[in-house]
Amino acid sequence: MEPTTTSFLVLGALLFGIGATGLMIRRNPLVMFMCIELMLNAVNLTFVALATRFSDIDGQTAVFFVMVVAAAEVVVGLGIIISIMRRRPGATVDDLAELRG
């Protein structure tokens, strides 16, 4: 049985829902960051599925650029989060709001 475009879209919606739920429930900045990345990858999966369905390369091109920006975001964001977590091991997102100047 070959997967269809609908199955990829359902999988993308399921992954996006899991990421959104994790983002709203969890208070750990590292877990929240991973949930945002999961949501981003769900959207990428949807782009690729629809680009394949309509035989158009624009969706796959958009995914390429989104992945490049996401890689830069991971480098900067993860570095900031790890440095904060080293100073305050039990830091939550509410504690990080105090960093505003």
**What's 22's domain CATH number?**
1.10.287.3510
Per-residue confidence (pLDDT) for residue 73, from 0 to 100:
87
Residue 61: give the domain boundaries: 5-99
The 3-state secondary structure of the chain reads CCCCHHHHHHHHHHHHHHHHHHHHHCCCHHHHHHHHHHHHHHHHHHHHHHHHHCCCCHHHHHHHHHHHHHHHHHHHHHHHHHHHHHHCCCCCHHHHHHHCC
pLDDT confidence of 16, banded at 50, 70, 90? very high
pTM: 0.84
Percentage with pLDDT > 90 across the chain: 59
Distance between CA atoms of 29 and 72, rounded to whole angstroms? 18
Per-residue confidence (pLDDT) for residue 80, from 0 to 100:
85
> Domain count of the chain?
1
